[in-house]
Amino acid sequence: MSRITDINELFAEIEEIITSLSSSYENAKSNSTTHQIPRAKVKGALEHLRSILEYCAQDVHMHVYGNNSGELYFPYAKNEALFNKHLTRSFKALRVRDPKIYDFMASVQPHVSGSNWLIDLCGYTNTNKHKYLTPQVKKTKNSVTVGNLIRVSGNSSATFVNSTVNGAQIGKDSLTPVTISDAMTNEEIVTQLNPGNPYIPVTRVTEEVKFFIEGSTNDALSFIQDAKERISKFVSQLYSEIEK
């Protein structure tokens, strides 16, 4: 019996998690105390994606070999040689028995896709399931506006020499340069701009926030969205062959 109904139910659940995580990202823009998005939801999405691949493996085995297998996992490997080696465990001679199915399963592997997303997905799910909830590293892209004078963003800076804002001198005197950047805190910027002078307005806006999975260059939400799209494409191709 095809597991496509189960797979579609998992896709729907993943989409709900993506919507929830997207809200967390938006809220984090205005809340500097938010250092991580809900890790349990990230774990749930990752495990659902992994389960979809495992369900596919079961249906492939039934389609090609005519029977179910108890200990069966979706094969993944860092290179083609290892991929073919892993296939021999549960999918012997798959390339000969069903070349189309072989090509579909190979299409998501690094040696064909040119991406390590599958390796990363399996690594993340193993860590979150068996060891701990993976921490995240928050990174933001900010813009800072000084009065109606200047706006700095993207790790840029600005230096003022003998400058004023609304008649107020920037810095302690007209001779000492003052440099600010969006990497500085509001308090640091205000201290540089306003020592002993009337208030010069400073506005900070968080334009973008990312939560990178610890030890990687993958933003959690972007990774989940990308993996979902890749797996969805794979499932569509696979079941168009299995169910024809």
Which pLDDT score, from 0 to 100, does residue 197 have?
A: 66
Residue 212 burial (CB count, 10 A): 17
Instruction: Name which of 33-42, 76-85, 138-147 the model is least confident about.
Output: 138-147
183 pLDDT above the threshold of 90: no
Measure the CA–CA gap between 184 and 165, rounded to whole angstroms.
19
3-state helix, strand, coil in the chain (%, to 5): 50, 15, 30
87 pLDDT above the threshold of 70: yes
Per DSSP, 195 falls in state: T
Measure the CA–CA gap between 205 and 236, rounded to whole angstroms.
41
Q: For residues 12 and 158, which has the higher predicted lDDT (pLDDT)? A: 12
Per DSSP, 244 falls in state: -
198 pLDDT above the threshold of 90: no
Pick from 31-35, 39-43, 88-92 the range whose average pLDDT is largest.
39-43
Element (H, E) at 124: helix 117-130
155 pLDDT above the threshold of 90: no
Residue among 229, 221, 201, 46 nearest 136 (CA): 221
Which pLDDT score, from 0 to 100, does residue 244 have?
A: 80
Q: What is the pLDDT of residues 52-84, one digit of tens each?
A: 999 999 999 999 999 876 678 999 999 999 999
Mean pLDDT over all residues of the chain? Answer: 92
202 pLDDT above the threshold of 90: no
Measure the CA–CA gap between 62 and 145, rounded to whole angstroms.
62
Which pLDDT score, from 0 to 100, does residue 193 have?
A: 83
Backbone angles phi, psi at 151, to 5 degrees: -130, 130
Percent of all residues in the chain with a pLDDT value above 70, rounded to a whole number: 98
Q: For residues 182 and 137, which has the higher predicted lDDT (pLDDT)? A: 137
DSSP structure string for 29-98: HT-TT-----HHHHHHHHHHHHHHHHHHHHHHHHHHHSS--SS------SSHHHHHHHHHHHSTTHHHH-
Q: For residues 244 and 196, which has the higher predicted lDDT (pLDDT)? A: 244
Which pLDDT score, from 0 to 100, does residue 32 have?
A: 81
Query: In the chain, what are the domain boundaries?
Result: 4-134+217-242, 137-208
Which pLDDT score, from 0 to 100, does residue 189 have?
A: 85
